[in-house]
Structure 1
């Protein structure tokens, strides 16, 4: 671990000693409960709080001069978490005593069980300083493993208390308060685990939890890197809760693989999506190098794909490269759609999707809760009403065929390799057979929602969306997909509205919200049975 400033090192030492002192008193209290011991514990709250505050203040001062991705910054952030959780142990000790005070018959608590639990907490605290100064992840793991011992003891006393509930001689209030005491000790185990994770995160240079660390260790052992050591660096945190990291060779400075972990079901879907693309369209998706499951989480080690995301190209590269990437993407998509086409009709269901997500949108943007909509004195239907009407129309206009789609076709999930002139897809957990309009609408709106104010770049984004649309429309006409533009209008309406939940800027979000309403109104204005004659008002939509 990075060398600690003297102020932090000394105050951390005092804080660990203070918490251990309070735990010694707590241990003694359960062995021989006296009001004097309880009072000594309750009176020591201020010192632990002051020590924690000094550590946090010192960390803030030190971080002011450290780069955010600097190892020093990570260490200081970890120490903040350690200090907060140490003081939390002090708070939990006092809270447990408040519950004890309400117990009339002290033996109901089975107090002889608690010194062992307190001993586990003390063992964890005793390892903290050594784990910090030696950057020893094994010691950090031992701190976190104390939670398992505390949890096992908690379950034993929980069984005792629940059994006593059936005893008519035992006061229900005594059992209730005993359960609360046990719960405070269970939370002490959680604090030790949090401290353990903070120390491990500092050691490896990236925020991890226990499950992620063991998955990462297991998967990295599968990599063979004779030249140089392996290091990890964060790439992204997905909205679904997964974390993505690059595994880099420290000697060659090349990315060897990509590590992705998260909930077992989501990672399993990602694995299945990648494997399905390998069988359907080889070379498009990355290879899976290794896969591990652990409890309710799972992790993948994925081949690192060369190239740049379309988002990066749009925002940072020249127009020629952008045109080249878009042309290759359009060609690749047409090829995929032709190869995977089935005769099974596909319902887009975009209005149902929108209806299900309106609650999420309005939690971020409550101003979109429309009750009475008026324009020039005329009462207009709310968006909810329009969505309901459009859902009925949409159900009558299915795509004449199905194709295999990406399922989350944002510009940051598409990689273009200029050297090989190839397109790759990533983040494939939603891939399935579906109406291809789903991917088209998501792609176009993911372009629009990029919050870029530069006029030239903004104009390029609009041009990309319009060029992409023309390519997709040409494919639809060749396939005799007559209702393509009608379905796309509703698909775009869904994507514009639901994407606002990821947009904080109120002006930008409102532009997208109004475009959604406009597209639904235009689709509903089309006479029933005339959907094939509907034309998407593209220039009115993709312009700022």
Structure 2
């Protein structure tokens, strides 16, 4: 990290000293309660606020006037978080006093229980400057670990106060005592947030406690020598974070670090293992796996190449065509090799029904009721979905294949040098109707928020060409209802994807396409689904 600006360094020093002083006064209040001690704490509220504001202002100026490297941005924003949580300690300090002042029989609080806990918090504040100036992550971790000790102290107090509530008439006093304990518990949470901000400064990326320990464990398993740093790549909608482990000297990516909720990371691990056993070489290798409490992390082989999204948006037409051709070849081979005779239900209308509430939260204007226009009845969108759901249940795919499950164009990597396709983000992989992947891929192209006309034309052509690849496969496999199921799959993907689109114009285009496709599928007579023709060119045009 670059050296701290003098203004930030000085104000942070004064802020830490001020917060320690206020905590010391709180400790003194519980040792010898007096109105004078309480008043001194209340009177100091403005000074801590002013110091915090100065730090925030200095960080903003620094962000504006210095080179905006990711590491500098993370460091300055983390300093803002540190100042904010130090101020929060001061606010919690005063809240403790407010609750304590409402206790009529002060001995019920048993105030001598609190000084040892406050001393823990003061010990954490005392380590902040040293951890920051020395880039000492071990010291930063010690600050965060105090949260657990403070939480254990709170749990003991909670049991004591709640048990006493059953045997006394002074329940209000005990309730206020419990609130005092709760405010001090929140001080521990602020210490952990400060700790995470300090660690983020040291490693150059925003992390929480769980992520830091997972990264430490994974790097210990990573059998390599050298100096490495971590760089953020992406954050998924499921809450996982993805980072690159990069050699500081060569700047080559050595591995990819992915962490998040334990269940989702375990699903990702299982998906990668399944692909490596079913179709080796398509998925990356898992280098290491760690789990801790409710989170988990993976260290995954880095795959060279470009995502399909990067190719579509930035690369020349001949490379885009080459990548699509290889994708088609790879997919058809996967589908043939993993094909089973078991029927597969797409279930797209059921999926859409579950996601409608999320769509309406982002776009409430899409919610409609049944209406009548010049004697023509227009059903509500939910009614269309229910009708299509019944139709879809009677039209299964004649076989199952192993699918990606989340076949967005940023989950497909093409290596031009090796002319090779790889898949990533495999936590939803399973045996199912391949129309699921086809529809997701086509709509993930359409929803790219690009206004440039030539690029939009390329996107539409790519979607149509991909459809032709999948359609030819369907014909060779005697899959006669492919178009019908794809119409419903596209209907689902168009509508459900609007929850990720802020632009009202594009979202409306997608939603209307969804309604049109579902209505078009419903006009097909029952038993005639094999004759249905999907109007792809009409749909994939702007």
TM-score, with normalisation over the residues of structure 2? 0.98
Task: Report the CA distance between 1:165 and its aligned residue.
Answer: 1.6
2:415 paired with 1:410? no
Is there any run of 5+ residues in structure 2 with no aligned partner, and where? none
The whole-number CA distance in structure 1 between the counterparts of 2:266 and 2:536 is 38
The whole-number CA distance in structure 2 between the counterparts of 1:18 and 1:375 is 70
Task: Report the CA distance between 1:202 and its aligned residue.
Answer: 0.8
Task: Report the CA distance between 1:70 and its aligned residue.
Answer: 3.4
The whole-number CA distance in structure 2 between the counterparts of 1:36 and 1:189 is 26
Task: Report the CA distance between 1:373 and its aligned residue.
Answer: 4.7
The whole-number CA distance in structure 1 between the counterparts of 2:365 and 2:46 is 44
Q: Which residue of 2 aligns with 1:47?
A: 47
- The answer on whether the counterparts of 2:442 and 2:463 sit within 8 Å (CA) in structure 1 is yes
- The answer on whether the counterparts of 2:494 and 2:514 sit within 8 Å (CA) in structure 1 is yes
2:292 paired with 1:273? no
Provide the alpha-carbon RMSD of the alignment: 1.1
Q: Which residue of 2 aligns with 1:445?
A: 443
Q: Deviations over 1:311-368 (max 9, x none)?
A: 0000010011100110010111111111111111111110011011000011111111
The whole-number CA distance in structure 1 between the counterparts of 2:400 and 2:35 is 75
Q: Which residue of 2 aligns with 1:203?
A: 202
2:89 paired with 1:89? yes
The whole-number CA distance in structure 2 between the counterparts of 1:298 and 1:72 is 28
Q: Which residue of 1 aligns with 2:471?
A: 473
Q: Which residue of 2 aligns with 1:528?
A: 526
SS of the aligned residue for 1:3 comes to coil
Q: Which residue of 1 aligns with 2:186?
A: 187
Task: Report the CA distance between 1:376 and its aligned residue.
Answer: 6.4
- The answer on whether the counterparts of 1:2 and 1:71 sit within 8 Å (CA) in structure 2 is no
- The answer on whether the counterparts of 2:124 and 2:146 sit within 8 Å (CA) in structure 1 is yes
Q: Which residue of 1 aligns with 2:31?
A: 31
Task: Report the CA distance between 1:67 and its aligned residue.
Answer: 4.4
- After the TM superposition, which residues 138-537 of structure 1 pair with which residues of structure 2 at under 5 Å, given as runs? 138-167=138-167, 169-226=168-225, 228-371=226-369, 373=371, 378-537=376-535
Change in 2 beyond 3 A, CA 1:452/1:25: same
- The answer on whether the counterparts of 2:397 and 2:479 sit within 8 Å (CA) in structure 1 is yes
SS of the aligned residue for 2:297 comes to strand
The whole-number CA distance in structure 2 between the counterparts of 1:345 and 1:65 is 62
- The answer on whether the counterparts of 1:215 and 1:299 sit within 8 Å (CA) in structure 2 is yes
SS of the aligned residue for 1:444 comes to helix
TM-score, with normalisation over the residues of structure 1? 0.98
- The answer on whether the counterparts of 2:369 and 2:381 sit within 8 Å (CA) in structure 1 is no
2:70 paired with 1:60? no
The whole-number CA distance in structure 2 between the counterparts of 1:19 and 1:127 is 13
Task: Report the CA distance between 1:378 and its aligned residue.
Answer: 4.2
Flag as ranges the 4+ runs of structure 1 deviating above 6 A: none
Change in 2 beyond 3 A, CA 1:42/1:473: same
2:133 paired with 1:133? yes
- The answer on whether the counterparts of 1:140 and 1:199 sit within 8 Å (CA) in structure 2 is yes
SS of the aligned residue for 2:33 comes to coil
Q: Deviations over 1:461-520 (max 9, x none)?
A: 100100000110111111111111000000000000010111111111111000000000
SS of the aligned residue for 1:33 comes to coil
Q: Across the two proteins, how many residue pairs are aligned to each other?
A: 542
The whole-number CA distance in structure 2 between the counterparts of 1:25 and 1:55 is 24
- The answer on whether the counterparts of 1:373 and 1:382 sit within 8 Å (CA) in structure 2 is yes
Task: Report the CA distance between 1:222 and its aligned residue.
Answer: 1.9
Q: Which residue of 2 aligns with 1:99?
A: 99
SS of the aligned residue for 1:221 comes to helix
